[in-house]
Amino acid sequence: MTRKPTDIGNEELWEFPMDFPLTVMGEARFPLAEVVTAIVLRHVPDFNPAVITVQPSSKGTYVSVRATFRVVSKEQINGLYADLAAEPMVKMAL
């Protein structure tokens, strides 16, 4: 099986369930928090959007959206990163 760029690596180091920290960056002109919320909810149905924090860059051009949530499988993470990678508003996801 070929590993896609959005698949997690070093699977043996991951222990599920776990609290998963996510940071997504994009341009401030987009509603990035809402987009990230919708994507996370597709993969983590019990995600609470109230945990999201948004921080603008020093010049206000970009924002980072951060959240930590519970995941129970690598499939959730792989699907999450695949959807984030496919979203044009997302510049980077960590």
Convert the pLDDT of each residue in 76-90 to its tens digit: 999 999 999 999 999
Convert the pLDDT of each residue in 46-83 to its tens digit: 999 999 999 999 999 999 999 999 999 989 999 999 99
User: Side chain identity at 69, as an amino acid letter?
Assistant: F
| CB-based contacts of 88, cutoff 8 Å, min separation 6 | none
3-state secondary structure of 29: coil
Convert the pLDDT of each residue in 20-32 to its tens digit: 999 999 999 999 9
Pairing status of strand 90-93 against strand 53-56: unpaired
Residue 1 has pLDDT above 60, yes or no: no
